[in-house]
Amino acid sequence: MTEQQASQTDLATRILAGERRALARAVTLVESTRADHRAQAAALLEVLRGHGRQALRIGLSGTPGVGKSTFIETFGMMLVSQGLRVAVLAVDPSSTRSGGSILGDKTRMERLSREPGAFIRPSPSLSHLGGVSRRTREAVALCEAAGFDVVLIETVGVGQSETMVAEMCDLFVLLLAPAGGDELQGVKRGIMEIADLILVNKADGELKAAATRTCADYAGALRLMRKRAEDPDGFPKALPVSAWEDDGLDAAWDEMQTLAAWRRAEGHWEKRRAAQAAHWFEEEVRSGLLARLNRDADVKRAMAEMATRVAAGELSPDAAAEEMLGRLKN
Ligand code: GDP
């Protein structure tokens, strides 16, 4: 065994024992873009493979201000009080919100961050979606190895990050604010299609009635929009919650568990994870190929040349692409 393998084995042992400091170190390792760190991360993940532990991976999305941090804090505290271990990972590829600063997210969830049964990791600093996605998947794998029961993957509702998170979680929860009926149109269809549970937050005080109405609107829209084999009767659902007053979070957790248990029993859970693994394999090959092409000086030159000819109207975009692909084959 090389020295490097021995040190990864040691780190792996500590992660499997559930040591949070070891987990934090490992997540830092998978987030690094340095070639030697990547090699260490790969070795570590290989040692950890096959430990057989599975967390419930919950994707959570919502626009800024909807109450995600408040929800995660209250929801996380509830789970921890039930003896569950909770990891929170943030995916925020397009914003500098936390800028990768641990303080940024720790102060967002102050009580939860002090719990020994919780692990909170802010989003890695600004990076392209592909890189964030791989690092998040690896971080999820590390949290599972460390024996966490629930992994919450939080994302702000921008760009493609929701679809990406949906491809790495078992359940997808969308947090919304109470709204007038006409605002229903404002929620992107795509996200309604991936949400298993819509939680209308801030169902308290003056907003309570509006939240109940909003819930009914979404429940109707969800039913019209979607019926998948992996949805039991009554799902997807919309529920009112107040993260602030800790109201409805236990009901939301019950629904998540019901859905997860049904999917496990019916075989959808394993099927979904298998399909996700296949998806990420293809995605990695695709992005790896593109990265390789982008590094190839000859290809880059040819691409630039073709692009100029296309721009000048000498070649149609399709004919140029066809020719370019023909050249790559050789
Ligand atoms: P995030 O940007 O999605 O993480 O949202 P925050 O958790 O930071 O919350 C944004 C604002 O909404 C803050 O002022 C919170 O106090 C408030 N807020 C969050 N949850 C609730 C809730 O359940 N009820 C009410 N009334 N306000 C809430």
27: in domain:
yes
Smallest CA separation from ligand 1 atom 22, residue: 202
CA nearest to 169, candidates 125, 122, 215, 136: 136
Which one, of 157, 95, 172, 167, lies nearest residue 127 by Cα? 95
Q: Does 69 reside within a domain?
A: yes
At 226 the pLDDT is 73
161 lines ligand 1 (CB under 6 A): no
**What is the maximum span of the chain, computed from C-alpha positions, in angstroms?**
68
Task: Give the residue with greater pLDDT, 292 vs 282.
Answer: 282
Buried b (16+ CB within 10 A) or exposed e, 172-188: bbbbbbbbeeeeeeebe
User: Residue 166 and residue 173: Cα distance in Å, rounded?
Assistant: 9
Same domain for 77 and 43, yes or no, is no
Mutate which of 61, 69, 70, 204 for ligand 1? The one with the most ligand atoms within 8 Å of its CB, which is 70
Ligand 1 center–CA 121 separation, angstroms:
20
pLDDT in tens, 126-157: 556 667 788 899 999 999 999 999 999 998 86
Tell me, using a 6 A CB cutoff, whether residue 174 lines ligand 1.
Answer: no
3 and 70 share a domain? Answer: no
Q: What is the reported pLDDT for 183?
A: 57
User: What residue's CA is closest to ligand 1, atom 11?
Assistant: 65
314 C-alpha to ligand 1 centroid (Å): 56
In a domain, 272, yes or no: no
The pLDDT assigned to 227 comes to 75
Does residue 236 line the site of ligand 1, with CB under 6 A?
Answer: no
Residue 274 covered by a domain: no
Same domain assignment for residues 180 and 286: no
For residue 32, the enclosing domain spans 1-50
Q: Is 201 in the pocket of ligand 1 (CB under 6 A)?
A: yes
**Is residue 306's pLDDT more than 70?**
yes
CATH number of domain containing 15: 1.20.5.170
Which of 41-55, 91-105, 120-134, 220-234 has the lowest average pLDDT?
Answer: 91-105
The answer, yes or no, to whether any atom of ligand 1 lies below 6 A from the CB of 211, is: no
Q: How many CA atoms lie within 13 A of 215 on its CB side?
A: 19
Residue among 118, 121, 112 at smallest CA distance from 70: 112
Secondary structure string (H, E, C) spanning 236-296: CEEEECECCCCECHHHHHHHHHHHHHHHHHCCHHHHHHHHHHHHHHHHHHHHHHHHHHHHC
Indicate which atom in ligand 1 lies nearest the CA of residue 64.
Answer: 2
Ligand 1 nearest-atom number relative to CA 205: 26
Q: 239, 266, 293 — which closes off a domain?
A: 266
Considering only CA atoms, which of 253, 194, 184, 256 is closest in space to residue 220? 184
70 lines ligand 1 (CB under 6 A): yes
Look at residue 16 and give its three-state secondary structure. helix
Round the CA-based radius of gyration of the chain to a whole number and report it: 22
Please state the domain count of the chain. Answer: 3
pLDDT band at 101 (very low <50, low <70, confident <90, very high): very low
- Verify that 152 and 258 share a domain, yes or no: yes
Q: Look at 99 and 240; give whichever has higher pLDDT.
A: 240
Element (H, E) at 171: strand 171-176
